Chain A
Amino acid sequence: ETGVTQSPTHLIKTRGQQVTLRCSSQSGHNTVSWYQQALGQGPQFIFQYYREEENGRGNFPPRFSGLQFPNYSSELNVNALELDDSALYLCASSFRRVHPTDTQYFGPGTRLTVL
């Protein structure tokens, strides 16, 4: 059973550019959540995808968007990058059940630096 993987591991962009981050869910998982972790802080929830649809969103602007594919891999897209977008981006996969016992397993993250 493979764990959650993310690519790339590091990325440097300039202000105003667009970026796409990728996540491959753990085998058998059908739900993916994305989190932003700024330096020295805990992760902040961006959004969650379940069966290819956005299923919940945190306090992030629309320039943060995502996709989930039929194989349950996922992308996080950020448009019009700002300096404050510099952070570690984490994806977490889980298996949605009838009762809320779906534990989230995290990938290693993508470190994004915006100059």
Chain B
Amino acid sequence: AQSVTQPDIHITVSEGASLELRCNYSYGATPYLFWYVQSPGQGLQLLLKYFSGDTLVQGIKGFEAEFKRSQSSFNLRKPSVHWSDAAEYFCAVGAGGTSYGKLTFGQGTILTVHP
């Protein structure tokens, strides 16, 4: 069964600092990987996704993520954080085969940004 671990429950950074949110997955085949962001009172917004090809993927709002098969990781990065990036971030893995739909989420990382 697939699973996702986000080791950091809460991260605090200063505005303008760089950011890396960790995500480790467990899945037997090629994973389809996603990062979603949830602002308070909002739904889940897709930041970026990896299906195949270039292992460094670019997303919206200046975010990027790198797929590392050897480490089973898909960490999210941003070179300079803005106060508006404060939110909860979820990593998710999608199954292949006949079960494209089911997404398995990590427990989320809450990002606090200090001015």
Do A and B form a real pair? Answer: no
> Could you tell me which B residues sit within 8 Å of A by CB distance?
none
> Could you tell me which A residues sit within 8 Å of B by CB distance?
none
